Amino acid sequence: MTRVLAINGSYRDDGITDQIVETMAQAVAAAGGEIEVVQLRNYPIEFCLNCRECTQHPGTAPGQCVHSDGMAALIDKIEFADAYILASPTNFSSVTAVFKRFMERLVVYAYWPWGTATPKFRKAGLPLKKAVLVTSSAAPGILGRWMFATRGQLNMTARTIGAAAIGTIYPGLIAKDRHTRLPDKLKARATALANRLVRNQG
């Protein structure tokens, strides 16, 4: 059974990001996969201390962080999962602050001893898991893909944890109403991508 982990950096209950993640979660379950959704807005993660203790020892397993918070359990979930949904709205041209805080804690996936200029990513060269990237913006999606850093940041997150994106869901023009409902066309795309995460297709 394919285990899918969704990591959602939206602040808003039932916003567009929640609706996409929920649609995908239902589709994963309907296709026979296992789904767990982590809402970063409710999840206890401290800021990275930049101490780099976690980066000093080589190996493909994530390093040990000095914090004792929810991140160790989240890393276990990431390691255990076969596929990912990585989601964050675009705020000030970027992933949200809670998603960025989570991203920085993924430095455990780098081997970066003192004296080396650049990190080596622990999962580089290993078989890649699958990921779907989800973001949204007030700007039209077609512009947002090029103007904003969000998609690149979600992609970097996927690469860091050893996954490659098989697709992106990027609705734009989200700020027109207080509560935009997910259009049917996007529901269909979210469902199709969720099926691709579960079934053995590229």
- Interface segment toward ligand FMN; rule CB under 6 A; list 15-23, 53-61, 116-124, 191-199: 15-23
Nearest approach, Cβ of residue 94 and ligand FMN (Å): 8
Does position 24 interact with ligand FMN (CB under 6 A)? The reply is: no
Nearest approach, Cβ of residue 148 and ligand FMN (Å): 6
- Size of the residue set binding ligand FMN (CB under 6 A): 17
Does position 168 interact with ligand FMN (CB under 6 A)? The reply is: no
- Please, which of residues 71-100 interact with ligand FMN by CB under 6 A? 89-93
- Interface segment toward ligand FMN; rule CB under 6 A; list 31-39, 59-67, 105-113, 138-146: 138-146
Q: How many C-beta atoms surround the C-beta of residue 82 within 10 A? A: 16
The partner residues of 34 in beta bridges, in order of sequence, read 3
> Which residue stretches of 107-149 are H helix?
141-147
Q: What is the spatial distance between Cα 194 and Cα 101, in angstroms, rounded to a whole number?
A: 26
Pick from 98, 180, 96, 88: nearest CA to 134? 88
Q: What is the spatial distance between Cα 29 and Cα 63, in angstroms, rounded to a whole number?
A: 32
Nearest approach, Cβ of residue 38 and ligand FMN (Å): 15
Does position 141 interact with ligand FMN (CB under 6 A)? The reply is: no
Q: Could you tell me if 105 and 151 are in contact, meaning their C-beta atoms sit under 8 angstroms apart?
A: no
Does position 126 interact with ligand FMN (CB under 6 A)? The reply is: no
Does position 137 interact with ligand FMN (CB under 6 A)? The reply is: yes
Closest to ligand FMN by CB, 143 or 192: 143
The tokens of 33 are what? 């996969």
CA angle 185, 164, 156 (to 5 degrees): 100
* Helix H or strand E encompassing 5: strand 3-8
- The single residue among 51, 61, 142, 175 that binds ligand FMN, judged by CB under 6 A, is 175
Does position 174 interact with ligand FMN (CB under 6 A)? The reply is: yes
Nearest approach, Cβ of residue 55 and ligand FMN (Å): 31
Q: Could you tell me if 102 and 5 are in contact, meaning their C-beta atoms sit under 8 angstroms apart?
A: no
Handedness of CA 144, 149, 151, 154 (dihedral sign): negative
Residues in contact with ligand FMN by the rule CB under 6 A = 10, 12, 15-17, 89-93, 136-139, 144, 174-175
